């Protein structure tokens, strides 16, 4: 089955939805592929808020400086200024869409998070991403120019190289309808990757199950460069509870006075950094990891109870409710927390118009490496980046002249059969996530990375053989993408001979005088 649109957007988080609305308002016929239902995304899980200069006591220069400080000065200056200077306009657009940001006595309430020198994080209580997503989803589903393909997963891009045309252009993608098992050919002169990150490559993550590095892996196979994949942000405070899955305790809890303690109540962050609990995430995550390993702890504790019940219920109603469901009353007792894989700072190399190295193919959000985050993302810069580069992509697409599509072949299943042993997929999935956690985690060594690389190569051969012989399924597609993404993370990590930001190596503990991006380019090949 073949479908044709003006623009294909893969992913239904904030980057995908905001781009779709801008393009559809510009009279483009847009298809949005959503792996699950359209409301399931990492954006919807974002609690803290969106960083932007909205207060007269704050400044563009201060936000840029904080972003550089968090990113260990590996940030791209032009991209960083581009994002920060457009922050207020992005927030105004969300307000125009109807997002109900929390108000204070003198306008919108701004909170402060780790790494920020001022209060500049606008939010909707402690569920900002969900509120933004719900607001945009309602508009998305009602827009006459937008077609949403739920429960579809993209497999690979259709490029001029693969069609034998000899041009480096994207003409759409193949996508599996997971309900029917049919593979669709979705053609479009412009395609936007908005698939999010790759947190599920690790055993413990704050990300939803959909975060399997799909867009990054597909772009790499299509011939795009990727950069800085070694910089995986581990959120310091994921709820530690056997019945809690991937529940994040917002950065704002520390920003509003939360204190990290050992089981005996001792505060430990001042011994690790002068900024204590307000240090950037990489510093806090390493400090927690150090204390847990040194003392043989399963977790540490984040205490906000001293701020009082009314304060907590006003600022963190959702965190309070979720913890209470699990028997933890955060107004009276501390929250057990552990670090968990949270954000992929690297990704597909893009420019200020969100263009990749392949014509007609764009990327925005966590799947892209714009240069904003450097070696570590500053808290609440992620949703801002989604908005800015989704708009940039939409503007560039709208400025392009109309382009006809070549004839696109259908998906070929003539040489494959149904899988005889699904256990191969589940076993490889478990093995991959566990050794990535053990060998490519918060603290790394060259020996551990080499061990992980050896296992990756074995897994890649097994998965490629499985993919070549059996019909695609959602699990197989995700596993294939995860192993590619894991390989990219390891390859970038092995190239970095220093410790910087989120990449800490015991073999190279010093930070080099001059930081450089780690860029990987795939070999040019057809097919």
Rounded-to-integer distance, Cα 110 and Cα 93, Å: 17
0.85 exceeded by the pTM? yes
Annotated catalytic residue within 281, 286, 322, 448: 281
The stretch 258-276 carries a mean pLDDT of: 97
Q: Does residue 527 carry a pLDDT above 70?
A: no
Q: Identify the CA nearest to 350 among candidates 192, 218, 481.
A: 192
Q: What is the pLDDT of residue 416?
A: 86
Per-residue pLDDT, 419: 79
Question: What mean pLDDT is reported for the chain?
Answer: 94
Annotated active-site residue 281? The verdict is: yes
Residues 311-368: pLDDT tens digits? Answer: 999 999 999 999 999 999 999 999 999 999 999 999 999 999 999 999 999 999 999 9
The span from the CA of 53 to the CA of 57, in Å, is 9
Q: What is the mean pLDDT of residues 192-196?
A: 97
Which superfamily, per CATH, for 2-230+345-399?
Answer: FAD/NAD(P)-binding domain (3.50.50.60)
**How many angstroms separate the first and last alpha carbons of the chain?**
21
Rg over alpha carbons for the chain, rounded to the nearest Å, is 22
Percent of the chain scoring above 90 in pLDDT: 84
pLDDT band at 57 (very low <50, low <70, confident <90, very high): very high
Instruction: Give the model's confidence band at 525: pLDDT under 50 very low, under 70 low, under 90 confident, else very high.
Output: low
Statement: 238-341 belongs to CATH 3.90.700.10? yes
pLDDT over 90 at 238, yes or no: yes
What class has domain 423-510? mainly alpha
Rounded Cα–Cα distance for residues 485 and 221 (Å): 11
Delimit the domains of the chain by residue range. Answer: 2-230+345-399, 238-341, 423-510
How many CA atoms within 13 Å lie on the side-chain side of 5? 29
List pLDDT tens digits, range 475-492.
999 999 999 999 999 999
Cα→Cα distances 123→42, 108, 127, 366, 520, Å: 16, 8, 8, 20, 36
Q: What are 401-412's pLDDT values in tens digits? A: 999 999 999 999
Asked whether the predicted pLDDT for residue 213 surpasses 50, the reply is: yes
């Amino acid at each position: 089955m073949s479908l044709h649109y003006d623009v294909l957007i893969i992913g239904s988080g904030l980057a995908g939805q905001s781009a779709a609305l801008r393009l559809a308002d510009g009279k483009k016929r847009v298809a949005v592929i959503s792996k699950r239902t359209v409301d399931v995304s990492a954006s919807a899980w974002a609690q803290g808020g969106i960083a932007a200069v909205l207060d007269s006591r704050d400044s563009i220069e201060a936000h840029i400086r904080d972003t550089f400080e968090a990113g260990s000065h590996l940030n791209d200056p032009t991209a960083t200024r581009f994002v920060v200077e457009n922050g207020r306009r992005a927030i105004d657009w969300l307000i125009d869409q109807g997002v109900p940001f929390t108000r204070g006595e003198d306008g919108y309430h701004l909170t402060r998070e780790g790494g920020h020198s001022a209060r500049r994080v606008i939010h909707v209580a402690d569920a900002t991403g969900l509120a933004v997503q719900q607001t945009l989803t309602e508009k998305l589903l009602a827009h006459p120019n937008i077609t949403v393909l739920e429960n579809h997963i993209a497999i690979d891009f259709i490029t001029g190289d693969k069609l034998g045309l000899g041009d480096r252009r994207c003409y759409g993608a193949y996508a599996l309808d997971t309900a029917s098992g049919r593979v669709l050919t979705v053609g479009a002169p412009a395609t936007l990757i908005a698939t999010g990150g790759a947190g599920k490559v690790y055993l413990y993550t704050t990300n939803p199950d959909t975060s399997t590095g799909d867009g990054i892996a597909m772009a790499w196979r299509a011939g795009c460069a990727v950069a800085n994949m070694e910089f995986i942000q581990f959120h310091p405070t994921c709820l530690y509870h056997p019945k809690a899955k991937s529940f994040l305790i917002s950065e704002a809890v520390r920003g509003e006075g939360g204190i990290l303690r050992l089981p005996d109540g001792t505060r430990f962050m001042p011994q690790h950094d002068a900024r204590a609990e307000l240090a950037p995430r990489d510093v806090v995550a390493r400090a927690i990891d150090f204390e847990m390993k040194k003392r043989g702890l399963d977790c540490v504790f984040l205490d906000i109870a001293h701020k009082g019940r009314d304060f907590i219920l006003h600022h963190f109603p959702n965190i309070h409710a979720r913890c209470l469901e699990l028997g933890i009353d955060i107004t009276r007792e501390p929250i057990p927390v552990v670090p968990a894989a949270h954000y992929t700072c690297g990704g597909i190399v893009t420019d200020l118009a969100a263009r990749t190295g392949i014509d007609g193919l764009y990327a925005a959000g966590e799947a892209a490496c714009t240069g904003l985050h450097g070696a570590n993302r500053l808290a609440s810069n992620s949703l801002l980046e989604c908005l800015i580069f989704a708009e940039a992509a939409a503007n560039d697409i709208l400025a392009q002249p109309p382009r006809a599509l070549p004839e696109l072949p259908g998906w070929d299943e003539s040489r494959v059969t149904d899988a005889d042993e699904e256990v191969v997929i589940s076993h490889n999935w478990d093995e991959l996530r566990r050794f990535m956690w053990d060998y490519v985690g918060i603290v790394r060594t060259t020996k551990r990375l080499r061990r992980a690389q050896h296992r990756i190569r074995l897994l890649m051969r097994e998965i490629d053989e499985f993919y070549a012989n059996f019909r695609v399924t959602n699990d197989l597609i995700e596993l294939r993408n995860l192993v590619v993404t894991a390989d990219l993370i390891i390859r970038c990590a092995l190239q970095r001979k220093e410790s910087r930001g989120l990449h800490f190596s015991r073999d190279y503990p010093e930070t080099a005088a001059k930081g450089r991006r780690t860029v990987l380019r795939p070999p040019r090949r057809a097919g």
